[in-house]
Every structure is written in C-alpha cells, then in structure tokens.
C-alpha cells in the first residue's frame, strides 16, 4: 500500500534526527473532501475514535476537486506498526467518504 511507503519515508527522516519513535505524542493528519457533508460525517466518526479536530476549512476560490480540509490529531506512537494501523484506518475511512487522506506529521521527540 502506498501509505505504508509514505509512513516509512517520514519515519526514516524522524529516525535520522534521533526521534524516539515509540514515544506517545500528538500526530496531525490531513484529509481532503469533495463535500462539506462528507467532511462533517467523517469528523463525527473520528471523534468517536478519540481524534480531536484541529481545523476545518473550505477553499472557496479553487479548482481543486477536494476543496474541504479537515485536520485531526490524536496522541499516538509513531513506530511503523502503530502509525500504519492508524493511517490505514484513516485512509480506508476516507475512501468511504469520497475523500483523500493526505498524510501526517508530528513534532520531533528526542528526549
């Protein structure tokens, strides 16, 4: 799956900077939607899974097919198994809502 390769790439960078990948920390995720209703429905589902909403927005002056953006976060580990479990679930859920999961980021945790 393409998302697993993306996760490996991010983890490689974090590892190069000495990140302790097993440490629990805030992880932000971006999802893009075609419609406001789908974004709201997705939001409701992920909130029940413990995610918090960082931002909901709409690019009004765009030709993009997915102009609605949802940024969510939750405290998780980012070792490969943990982040794969989270991102694969978010990707599959995005497909159900005709959305695109665009990836994740987290602060460096090197203590």
Q: CA–CA separation, 3 vs 25, rounded Å?
A: 20
Give, for 25, the enclosing helix (H) or strand (E).
strand 25-33
| pLDDT tens digits, 17-74 | 999 888 999 999 999 999 999 999 999 999 999 999 999 998 876 668 899 999 999 9
DSSP lists the bridge partners of residue 28 as 73, 105
**CA distances to 7, 17, 21, 111 from 3, in Å:** 6, 22, 18, 27
3-class DSSP state of 85: helix
Could you give the domains of the chain? 2-105 (3.30.70.970)
């Amino acid at each position: 799956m393409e998302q697993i390769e993306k996760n490996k790439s991010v983890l490689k960078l974090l590892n190069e900077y000495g990140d302790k990948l097993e440490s629990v920390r805030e992880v932000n995720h971006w999802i893009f939607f075609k419609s406001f209703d789908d974004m709201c429905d997705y939001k409701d589902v992920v909130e029940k899974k413990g995610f918090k909403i960082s931002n909901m927005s709409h690019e009004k002056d765009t030709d993009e097919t997915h102009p609605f953006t949802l940024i969510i976060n939750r405290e998780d580990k980012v070792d490969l198994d943990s982040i794969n479990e989270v991102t694969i679930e978010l990707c599959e859920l995005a497909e159900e809502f005709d959305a695109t999961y665009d990836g994740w980021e987290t602060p460096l945790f090197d203590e």
